[in-house]
Structure 1
Amino acid sequence: MTIVLQFRRVRPEQDADIPLPRYMTVGASGMDLAAAVTDPIVVKPGEIVLIPTGFAIAVPEGYEAQIRPRSGLASRHGIGLVNSPGTVDADYRGEIRIPIINLGKAPYTIQRGDRIAQMVIAPVCRPTTALVTSLDETDRDAGGFGHTGRGQDSEPPTGRMP
């Protein structure tokens, strides 16, 4: 089944030069998203900035758009997304904006047209829910936060994070 994503430029007269989301290779899962900034934006270490993309999207019912960081920006510069992955719901029609965070040690400059994130379209499952008094038991049961990587005789992790 083929789905159709409808895009609308939010500021067509200003952002006609910004490419719409697109797959950069045949095997890519995510479409690259470009920055529709008017002037370069310097993101200081530890700083969060909301970057416009210049487009809105109509995600078909039963799907979501997941906004994810680009691995090259993350590994080379420490640039990530605050809420990763971010979700664009099927009923949202506003401009897609990307909450960039600089986790690196140096300022990072975002230029107009830079590829800053990627968007993956994924199906959404909406199950019915039921409140129960107990859940079925498993070998893992309530073990979490690294539990499956520990030996069976190890103590469960404390509430402290490293």
Structure 2
Amino acid sequence: MNLSHLIQIKRFAGNEDLAIPRKMTELAAGYDLQAAVLAPIVLEPMQRTLVPTGIAIAMPGGLEAQIRPRSGLAFKHGITCLNTPGTIDADYRGEIKVLLINLGEEPFTIARGERIAQMVFQEVPETELAEVEELSDTVRGSGGFGHTGK
């Protein structure tokens, strides 16, 4: 099944030098997002910052865009997204910004055009919540964190 959805992208003025999000390989799931910073940002260890991308999107209802870390930045430098995955709702029209944190041991410089995160589109099922007095029982029951051992 190959369903296609049209995602509209608005580039904010002053960001014409940056590419719109794109997949780096044919079968990649994520579209790379670039930093639209005016000057380099030095992210010290354990520091976080909100990085603009210079774009906004419009997508049809029933979709969400998830903002996820780039594995190379995480592995090589300890740079990751603090709230991952971040969710962009279908009705949001503001600039996409990425909350990055440096979990590494060295300062990391975020330059203009640096690929900082990836955006993955997911379908959101239509759901309805119903309050009840009791829930059906399962073998697991209310067993939570670590209930199965190590």
Q: TM-score range by the shorter chain?
A: over 0.9
Q: Provide the C-alpha distance between the structure 2 equivalents of 1:91 and 1:115, rounded to a whole number of angstroms.
A: 25
Match runs of 1:75-94 below 5 Å: 75-94=75-94
CA deviation digits over 1:5-48, x for unaligned, max 9?
A: 1000112xx21111111111011011100111111110011111
TM-score w.r.t. the length of structure 2 is 0.94
Question: Which consecutive unaligned segments of at least 5 residues does structure 1 have?
Answer: 152-162
Aligned to 2:6: 4
Match runs of 1:24-39 below 5 Å: 24-39=24-39
Residues 1:20 and 2:20 are matched in the alignment: yes
Aligned to 1:141: 141
Between structure 1 and structure 2, the one with the greater Rg is 1
CA deviation digits over 1:111-133, x for unaligned, max 9?
A: 11110000000001231111111
Deviating above 2 A after TM superposition, structure 1's stretches of 4 or more consecutive aligned residues are: none
What is the percentage of aligned positions where both structures have the same residue? 54
Q: CA deviation at 1:143?
A: 1.0
What root-mean-square deviation, in Å, do the aligned CA atoms of Structure 1 and Structure 2 show? 1.2
Aligned to 2:57: 57
Task: Please give the secondary structure, in 1, of the residue aligned with 2:84.
Answer: coil
TM-score w.r.t. the length of structure 1 is 0.88
CA deviation digits over 1:77-105, x for unaligned, max 9?
A: 11111111000000000110111111111
Partner amino acid, structure 2, of 1:35: A
Partner amino acid, structure 1, of 2:28: A
Equivalent residue pairs, number = 148
Q: CA deviation at 1:106?
A: 1.1
Question: Which consecutive unaligned segments of at least 5 residues does structure 2 have?
Answer: none
Task: Please give the secondary structure, in 2, of the residue aligned with 1:98.
Answer: strand
